Amino acid sequence: MILLLMMVLGQDPEQALASYAEAREKFVQEADLAAELQRIVAEAEDAISTEGLRRRRREKRHAQASVVSYRVLESRRDGDTATLVVEEQLKAPDGARRKKLAFAKAGNRWLIAREFDGCPACQAKGTCTWCDGRGEANRKPCPRCKGKKRCDTCDGAQWIERSFAHGITPLAARRDFAPRTDTSSARATAEAFADALTAEQIRLSAAMRRFFESSLALLKAHFTEDVAREAQEALRKAVEDGAKALQAYVPSVDVKTDGDRATAIVSAPPGPLGNERRQIALRKTDGRWLVDEVKRECGWCRGRGVCAACQGKAGKLTCLYCNNSGRCEPCEGAGFTD
């Protein structure tokens, strides 16, 4: 009976997609990776944070995006291969997104051979978002596409292939790590925070590894053998790279104290686990120094606060990003954001 049902589910591309979509949604809801990652961060950092920061952290938690429905926009079939273009309707705030799936027939089942996301930069139009595909701006070649008229994220292809290997980062596996918990000085707490980041890396990696291992099982059931084999290899490599990377992951700390307040920059070292910096504000409360605010380095200006497009040196030309203020727009020149 079960065997018969599986054959029916995969007997044409649309049914193969329906059975995959259902299994994937169930998996995403059960794994609830976003909630687990948020829980890990809270557990690592709450002990050295003020009540206010702990509350703000709880309020920021958001639910896993989930696909509410999808509809098929395009369906093409050519012998033993087929292509479907679908629009997925997601729960707010993500709205709708387009996807393209290529299928291959294996025996009497249809399996997914490739999966593409509509380019998020150009909304799958393929045209330059700066000049809207005209190739020029202010009667000069468009500075973004250099007159080529194509979107520079997808190079005009409209679609970006989704791959297990692209989504996977090195996964650390070291477990014997005890973070320092001393909060008697601003420096001690900043160092405890640096240790909390390392503890987070270890636990986040373990959670991600479990997640990827389960998604591999999902992949094996609905995708072609080639895709599953590549994914398995990507996972093996991520685990191998992660073990090395975590040995070198020791964030450094730079503290400035001013009375009962202090700020610190906590910098993770360069490497595959990400060399992001964090700016933390500390406050002395009942004899303990506690973390009251955590900001991440702005990804555009890398913490410098200077416009990444013109480096503050637009001169007589007009910088369309900062309007010649020289200030990084996304972080408003602060270098670090919530």
> Under the rule (CB under 5 A), what is the footprint of Zn ion?
119, 121-122, 128, 130-131, 142, 144-145, 151, 153-154, 298, 300-301, 307, 309-310, 319, 321-322, 328, 331
Of residues 151 and 238, the one with the C-beta less far from Zn ion: 151
CB 333, min distance to Zn ion, A: 7
Report which DSSP code applies to 49: B
Least Å distance between CB 162 and Zn ion?
14
Cβ of residue 121: shortest distance to Zn ion, in angstroms?
5
Of 52 and 120, the one with the shorter C-beta distance to Zn ion is: 120
**Least distance CB 184 / Zn ion (angstroms):** 34
The residue (of 119 and 231) whose beta carbon lies closer to Zn ion is: 119
Q: Which is nearer to Zn ion, 77 or 149 (CB)?
A: 149
Integer Cα distance of 335 and 295 in angstroms: 9
| N-terminal to C-terminal alpha carbon distance within the chain | 53
* Shortest reach from residue 335's CB to Zn ion, in Å: 6
The CB-of-126 to Zn ion minimum distance in angstroms stands at: 6
**Beta-strand relationship, 96-106 and 81-90:** antiparallel
Find out whether 114 and 108 touch, Cβ atoms under 8 Å.
no
Q: Which residue, 181 or 318, is less far from Zn ion as judged by CB?
A: 318
Nearest to 330 by CA among 188, 262, 304: 304
Task: Outline where 49-178 has alpha helix (H).
Answer: 51-60, 164-167
The secondary element (H helix, E strand) that includes residue 295 is strand 288-297
In this structure, the chain runs to a length of 338
Cis before residue 13, ω within 30 degrees of 0?
Answer: no
Question: Cβ closer to Zn ion: 28 or 319?
Answer: 319
* 289 and 279 Cβ atoms separated by less than 8 Å: no
Pull the structure tokens for residue 303.
């913490």
